[in-house]
């Protein structure tokens, strides 16, 4: 679990960055120049990072903007625009020292006034401003110091602050009043915006005034020592999977995301192409409404749980590129636990039918609410429906578009039983971020207003507030077990997303965003 490592870091504060830093020379681009064209699957509407939670925005924006703190390659919290930070002994004050010499793309130096303004704006339009509910205020005592004061100690605060889900990017103070979605795209990152055609492409160029973080010698996660090697980078929106494959083959695109599994065999044979798999991209999942009958009946939910064959579901969802996975974290994460594994991938029709009988199931329809916009969700629902039919459940599909399905789920309208989605960013951020989904208001299993499962709420409180990280981890394990045993969720498994680059592209490592820094063309 992330915070297991975080707390010692928090206490050791200022030392952390200076430790383990090598004396060797930092990364230098082996070759400089060229234009890298990346085929992005999803349309991007806005580059206003604080106001947008979509992957497509983050993909691009996080090459332009930087944050005080972020996560490294292994998801540990690290400083980026902050030089260091300290936590006061009473755990009520965090003091950040800013890195010197950092300039925005408009040439102005970054100071604590900009950080203050960025936090102010985030507090108005930032999608995760809920993380500030325990914050008493912030201040900029001098040009290179930024202070956050807490109302009460919150062991998980740094974990939230460094989250890359909707990062608190640092923008010039003059843009602090930009309304949501209308942020001027000026950051401190190695890339600066050239032009942006919504629905078409986003073009970036190297920012020559970039000041890398010399505490590191290599890029790590969203931070580290970053260098722009290409002259320009173009994110081109290519929604057709076939067109992305073709573009990569012909060299029209130098990198693409989301290659269909079916094309991989052939692409692997092509020596001009390097395949970059990105395992654990998201947890494919179905969430019940425990207020809509008949899934208000635990025994019926258990029958469904017992019937499912996760291999078959995940195979269809991903065309075969997946890993079976218990629960809400991935095995490569410190917080991973397989408690509740006895509820996973049971595929026992006899047992399922027995539960059905106990539940007194009388052929009421079970409606699977899915969408066509995300193929994997649609495919998973299609196969799950087949498996339910096989044990004698009357399973119906309700296929709508993504906004409609979210609307129906959020309002908990009648007439649906399972909502299909994927948990992408949150599991990667850690257990705390993921388990938020099961907490009020409007928890994902739809308990109804004020009727949240008290055991779940207790576990959540413990996850947040217990001082010892071990206890917090135990609380997470307890919460996962509860959710699985009460069938508040049906996590199917982990989906692998596959990216690909041309073979002459070096330094491209799979990560949650396509990082354009420290990547270069071989000559």
Partner 1 sequence: MASLVLRRVLGALPVLLIVSLITFGMMRLIPGDPSSVIGGMSATPAQLEQIRRDLGLDEPIAVQLVRWYGGLLQGNLGRSILMGQDVMSVTLQRLPVTIALSAYALVITLVLGLASGIFAALRQNTLIDQLAMMLAMLGISIPNFFLGLLMIIFFAVQLGWLPTGGYVGFTDDPIGWLRTSTMPAISLALLQVGLLARITRSTMLEVLRQDYIRTARAKGLPERLVVMKHALSNALIPITTVVGIIVSLLVSGSVVTETLFSIPGMGQLLTQAVLNRDYPMVQGGLFLVTAFLVLINIGVDVCYSLLDPRVRHE
Partner 2 sequence: MNSAAAQLELDADVPETHVHPARATLKRLFRHRLFLSGLGLFGIILAAAVLAPWIAPTDPTKLAMRFKFRPPGSEFAFGTDNFGRSLWSRVIWGAQLSVIIGSSVVALNAVFGTLIGALAGYFRSLDNALMRVNDAMMAFPAILLAIGITAVLGPSTLNAILALAIVYVPRTARIVRSSVIVLREMEYVQAAVAAGAGHWRILRRHILPNAMAPLIVQLSFLFAYAVLSEATLSFLGLGAVPPTPTWGNIMAEGRQYMVEAPWIITIPGIALMITVMGLNLLGDGLRDVLDPRLRIQQ
425 is an interface residue for partner 1 by CB under 8 A? yes
User: Quick one: which segment of 25-33, 324-332, 440-448, 457-465 binds partner 1 (CB under 8 A)?
Assistant: 440-448
Per-residue contact flags (x/-) with partner 1 for residues 34 to 63, judged by CB under 8 A:
---------x-xx-x--xxxxx--------
Beta-bridge partner residues of 500: 256, 275
* CA-closest candidate to residue 148, choices 211, 87, 103: 87
Residue 42 or 359 with smaller CB distance to partner 1 = 42
Near partner 1 in 376-415, by CB under 8 A: 400-408, 410
28 is an interface residue for partner 2 by CB under 8 A? no
Q: How many whole angstroms from its chain centre is CA 437? A: 13
Distance of closest approach, residue 281 Cβ to partner 2, in angstroms? 17
Q: Which phi and psi angles does 163 have, rounded to 5°?
A: -60, 140
User: Quick one: which segment of 42-50, 86-94, 168-176, 313-321 binds partner 2 (CB under 8 A)?
Assistant: 313-321
| 125 touches, from partner 2, partner 1, none (C-beta below 5 to 8 Å by class) | partner 1
312 is an interface residue for partner 2 by CB under 8 A? yes
Q: Tell me how crowded residue 102 is: count the other CB atoms within 10 A of its CB.
A: 21
Residue 51 or 304 with smaller CB distance to partner 1 = 51
Q: Tell me how crowded residue 171 is: count the other CB atoms within 10 A of its CB.
A: 27
241 is an interface residue for partner 2 by CB under 8 A? yes
Residue found by looking up tokens 């079976």 in the block: 324
- Judge contact between 453 and 192, C-beta under 8 A: no
258 is an interface residue for partner 1 by CB under 8 A? no
Distance of closest approach, residue 397 Cβ to partner 2, in angstroms? 7
Near partner 1 in 444-503, by CB under 8 A: 444
Total residues at interface with partner 2 (CB under 8 A)? 27
Helix (H, G, I), strand (E, B) or coil at 395: strand
Task: List Cβ neighbours of 175 (8 Å cut-off, separation of 6 or more).
Answer: 117, 121, 183, 184, 186
Q: Tell me how crowded residue 311 is: count the other CB atoms within 10 A of its CB.
A: 15
Buried b (16+ CB within 10 A) or exposed e, 54-76: ebbbbbbbbbbbbbbbbbbeebb
Distances (CA, A) of 453 to 232, 276, 409, 438, 501: 52, 41, 18, 10, 47
87 is an interface residue for partner 2 by CB under 8 A? no
Q: Name the CA radius of gyration of the chain, rounded.
A: 24
Residue 226 or 502 with smaller CB distance to partner 2 = 502
Distance CA 368, CA 488 (A): 15
Near partner 2 in 372-411, by CB under 8 A: 372-373, 375, 378-379, 382-383, 386, 397-401, 404
- Judge contact between 380 and 284, C-beta under 8 A: yes
252 is an interface residue for partner 2 by CB under 8 A? no
| 480 touches, from partner 2, partner 1, none (C-beta below 5 to 8 Å by class) | none
Half-sphere exposure of 165 (CA within 13 A, CB side): 22
41 is an interface residue for partner 2 by CB under 8 A? no
| 170 touches, from partner 1, partner 2, none (C-beta below 5 to 8 Å by class) | none
Residue 162 or 376 with smaller CB distance to partner 2 = 376
- Judge contact between 254 and 39, C-beta under 8 A: no
Distance CA 174, CA 117 (A): 8
Instruction: For residue 130, give both structure tokens.
Output: 């809920």
Residue 114 or 315 with smaller CB distance to partner 2 = 315
| 200 touches, from partner 2, partner 1, none (C-beta below 5 to 8 Å by class) | partner 1
- 93, 165, 291, 465: which one binds partner 1 (CB under 8 A): 165
| 252 touches, from partner 2, partner 1, none (C-beta below 5 to 8 Å by class) | partner 1
Instruction: For residue 293, give both structure tokens.
Output: 């009958």
DSSP per residue over 244-265, as a string? HHHHHHHTS-SEES---HHHHH
Residue 120 or 386 with smaller CB distance to partner 2 = 386
Near partner 2 in 336-375, by CB under 8 A: 372-373, 375
- 422, 447, 493, 514: which one binds partner 1 (CB under 8 A): 422
Residue 314 or 477 with smaller CB distance to partner 2 = 314
- 116, 443, 487, 505: which one binds partner 1 (CB under 8 A): 443
User: For binding to partner 1 (CB under 8 A), which residues are involved?
Assistant: 43, 45-46, 48, 51-55, 125, 127-130, 165, 179-183, 197-201, 236-240, 242-243, 245-247, 249-250, 252, 282, 373-374, 400-408, 410, 421-426, 436-437, 441-444
């Amino acid at each position: 679990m992330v915070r297991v490592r975080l707390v010692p870091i928090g206490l050791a504060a200022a030392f952390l960055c200076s430790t383990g830093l090598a004396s060797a020379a930092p990364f230098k681009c082996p070759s400089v120049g060229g234009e890298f064209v990346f085929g992005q699957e999803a349309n991007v509407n806005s580059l206003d990072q604080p106001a947008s939670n979509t992957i497509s925005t983050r993909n691009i924006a996080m090459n332009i903007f930087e944050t005080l703190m972020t996560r490294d390659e292994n998801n540990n919290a690290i400083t980026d625009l902050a030089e260091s930070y300290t936590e006061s002994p009473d755990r009520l004050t965090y003091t950040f020292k800013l890195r010197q010499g950092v300039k925005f793309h408009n040439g102005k130096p970054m100071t604590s006034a900009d950080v203050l303004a960025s936090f102010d704006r985030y507090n108005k339009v930032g999608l995760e401003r809920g993380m500030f509910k325990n914050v008493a205020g912030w201040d900029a005592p001098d040009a290179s110091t930024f202070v956050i004061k807490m109302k009460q100690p919150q062991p998980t605060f740094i974990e939230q602050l460094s989250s890359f889900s909707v990062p608190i990017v640092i923008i010039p103070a003059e843009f602090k009043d930009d309304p949501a979605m209308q942020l001027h795209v000026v950051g401190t990152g190695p890339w600066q915006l050239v032009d942006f055609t919504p629905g078409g492409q986003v073009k970036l160029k190297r920012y020559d005034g970039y000041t890398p973080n010399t505490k590191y010698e290599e890029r790590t996660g969203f931070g580290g020592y970053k260098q722009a090697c290409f002259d320009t980078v173009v994110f081109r929106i290519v929604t057709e999977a076939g067109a992305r494959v073709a573009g990569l083959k012909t060299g029209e695109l130098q990198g693409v995301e989301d290659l269909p599994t079916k094309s991989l065999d052939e692409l692997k044979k092509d020596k001009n192409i390097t395949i970059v798999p990105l395992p654990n991209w998201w947890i494919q999942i179905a969430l019940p409404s425990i207020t809509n009958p008949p899934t208000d009946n635990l025994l019926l939910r258990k029958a469904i749980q017992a019937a499912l064959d996760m291999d078959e579901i995940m195979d269809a969802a991903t065309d075969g590129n997946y890993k079976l996975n218990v629960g809400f974290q991935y095995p490569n994460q410190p917080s991973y636990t397989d408690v509740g594994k006895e509820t996973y991938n049971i595929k026992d029709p006899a047992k399922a039918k027995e539960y059905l009988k106990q539940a007194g199931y009388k052929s009421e329809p079970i409606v699977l609410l899915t969408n066509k916009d995300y193929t994997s969700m649609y495919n998973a629902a299609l196969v799950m429906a087949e498996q339910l039919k096989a044990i004698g459940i009357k399973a119906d599909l309700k296929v709508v578009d993504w906004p409609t399905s979210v609307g129906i789920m959020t309002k908990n309208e009648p007439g649906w039983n399972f909502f299909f989605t994927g948990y992408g960013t949150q599991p990667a951020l850690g257990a705390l971020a993921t388990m938020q989904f099961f907490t009020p208001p409007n928890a994902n299993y739809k308990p109804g207003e004020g009727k949240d499962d008290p055991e779940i709420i207790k576990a959540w409180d413990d996850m947040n507030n217990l001082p010892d990280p071990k206890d917090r981890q135990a609380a997470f394990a307890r919460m996962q077990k509860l959710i699985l045993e009460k069938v508040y969720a049906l996590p199917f498994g982990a989906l692998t997303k596959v990216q690909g680059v041309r073979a002459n592209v070096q330094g491209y490592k799979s990560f949650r965003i396509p990082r354009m820094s420290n990547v270069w063309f071989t000559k």
